[in-house]
Amino acid sequence: MRLAVISDLHLGRRDVVDSFGHEDDSFVRFLRFLEGSFERIVLLGDIFETLTARVPQQQRAELRAAREAHPEIVRRFERSQYLYVHGNHDLVAGPTLGAPEELAIEADGVRLLFTHGHRHDWIIRHVRQLSEWGVWAGGWIRRFGLHGFFRACDLLDQRLRGASVDAAHCTFQRWAMHLGHERKADVVVTGHTHLGSLAHHGPRLFLNSGTCSEGKFSFLAIDTKRGDYALHDSW
């Protein structure tokens, strides 16, 4: 099976905190390329940004506004070729759109586990509302034009996630491999960190799709029949 994986688009309502960073027509051309090249396309979480409303705890309204702001992209996502797994910024897509937290696919003797990866974060696991309030506050920091301060906070958050391209010191990868062992998966595919990665951990393979926000075109190309796994930052 040939699969593509994209994640972390953070599609918003086209306001100052919408970090998608693409013209919709340009991104639709990218989606057409994926649709013509792969049998399935996995949307691996944080597809929509629902945590940066002006008023907190408005995730359903923000999801609706984001979908209305990007209608052609949403129409493509609703095709059967796409498989949607929610993340933490679009957690509301679980109850409203039926997006699961994990997806397992077996093809050509390979078991793949797809999960966004936010369950690695201690704060999200134990005090999720605190994490969501932090994202909401970050939205207001950007509205006030404090972009340098926002970038500093974002870098600190990334460090706290424990993600690194150095597989030997990446706690996020160790968490993913432990999950893969529990789920009896050969390949664990994640998003969340915005850090595209490919690393072997003994008998298992770790993959991260990077991000398609801020104008980036990061995606994973998987061919289970040929055993090909690749990370791309352009198309």
208/215 Cα distance (integer angstroms): 18
Q: In sequence order, what are the residues at sequence separation of 6 or more whose Cβ sits closer than 8 angstroms to the Cβ of residue 148?
A: none
| CATH code for the domain in which residue 51 is found | 3.60.21.10
CB 213 within 8 Å of CB 194? yes
Residue range 178-193, pLDDT digits in tens: 999 999 999 999 999 9
pTM of the full structure: 0.95
Sheet holding 204-208: strands in order across? 102-107, 110-115, 187-190, 204-208, 197-201
Residue % of the chain over a pLDDT of 70: 98
Q: In sequence order, what are the residues at sequence separation of 6 or more whose Cβ sits closer than 8 angstroms to the Cβ of residue 216?
A: 21, 210, 233
Residue range 6-45, pLDDT digits in tens: 999 999 999 999 999 999 999 999 999 999 999 999 999 9
- Reported residue count of the chain is 235
Per-position b or e across 149-169, b if 16+ CB within 10 A of its CB? ebeeeeeeeeeebbbbeeeee
19/112 Cα distance (integer angstroms): 29
Calculate ∠ Cα 85-86-87, nearest 5°: 125
Sign (positive/negative) of CA torsion 162, 167, 173, 174? negative
| Mean pLDDT to the nearest integer, 207-233 | 98
| Mean pLDDT to the nearest integer, 218-229 | 98
Whether the per-residue pLDDT at 227 is higher than 90: the answer is yes
Q: Is 117 helix (H, G, I), strand (E, B) or coil?
A: coil
Residue range 144-165, pLDDT digits in tens: 888 787 787 777 777 666 788 7
| Mean pLDDT to the nearest integer, 99-116 | 98
Give the domain extent around 131.
Answer: 2-232
In terms of DSSP bridges, do strands 82-85 and 228-232 run parallel, antiparallel, or are they unpaired? unpaired
pLDDT number for residue 160: 67
Q: Which residue has the higher pLDDT, 165 or 212?
A: 212
83/117 Cα distance (integer angstroms): 16
pLDDT number for residue 184: 98
Whether the per-residue pLDDT at 213 is higher than 70: the answer is yes
Residue range 115-131, pLDDT digits in tens: 999 999 988 998 999 89
Residue range 43-94, pLDDT digits in tens: 999 999 999 999 999 999 999 999 999 999 999 999 999 999 999 999 999 9
Task: Please tell me the total count of domains within the chain.
Answer: 1
46/59 Cα distance (integer angstroms): 13
CB 170 within 8 Å of CB 163? yes
> CA dihedral defined by 199, 180, 159, 145, rounded to 10 degrees?
100
- β-partners of residue 106 are 111
pLDDT number for residue 230: 98
